[in-house]
Amino acid sequence: MSNQKKSSIQDKKVVWVTGASSGIGEALAKEYNARGAFIVLSARREEELNRVKGELKYPENAMILPLDVTHFDTVDDKVSQVVRHCGKIDMLINSAGIDYKDWVRNTPLSIYEKVMEINFYGNIAITLKVLPLMEERGRGHIACITSVNGVLSDKCSSAYAAAKHGLHGFYDSLRAEVPKKITVSLITPGYINTNITVNSLNGKGNFYGEHSEACLKGMAPEKMAKYVVKRLEKKSPLIYVGGFTERFGILVHDLFPTLFYKIARQLEPEYINWD
């Protein structure tokens, strides 16, 4: 890359988004790009990253960097590629992840390992490599997409909720450690109208393959992205986003836990009887 082009990129905010090929990650990448940021698009599916780049308002202000977050031995090289191309990383948004739904009794340890590998270890592996660069510069912003299930757990979400709770613990601890000019934000969505349940795993390792009704009725990812970016620009440490049901559920869980779990026992998960 020419020094002139790198200088042009360095004049912009450089935002690296993992899980950028769909859903929340895609929406956040598009919103930041529309606001003038230079976007690094990462996910496993390069063809989908090409589609997303083509749909950006300013596609010239983006680079594609294929990434499988479970290939931990490649993370150093991926970070180096971003720095070589952009000269810096102002913001990291960790959005890559997978959903899971099944009863605890149907869930083997191998599934817990797989979900944790993607949703927890794959997430923090990138943060651990980007953090020293931000500490060296004395500033930066790390944002992580978690879930309402990272705050409370309901039926048939044990593997997913465990990973998301882990992310809350990790990033809350990190926030307490880093200098003031390095911001750590947790984005905690409820139901968002994405394809997350299409790729949801069950205890047999099969995919659901359909949209859940709750997600179809959820907030549009574009609307979510606009709200979230506004809050991120204000350096909010914790961003809840979703409908009344999710927000009310968190309130009841925190204030009246006995009542919350009495209600939770009576609710049937939407998609558990599938092979």
Residues 92, 130 contacting (CB under 8 angstroms): yes
CA distances from 251 to 157, 238, 247, 271 (A): 19, 15, 6, 25
Counting Cα atoms < 13 Å in the Cβ hemisphere of 91 gives: 23
95 alpha carbon, distance to own chain's centre: 2
CA distances from 253 to 11, 32, 135, 138, 154 (A): 45, 33, 36, 38, 11
Residues classed as catalytic: 160
Strand partners, 219: 192
Pairing of β 14-18 and β 62-64: unpaired
Pairing of β 62-64 and β 38-42: parallel
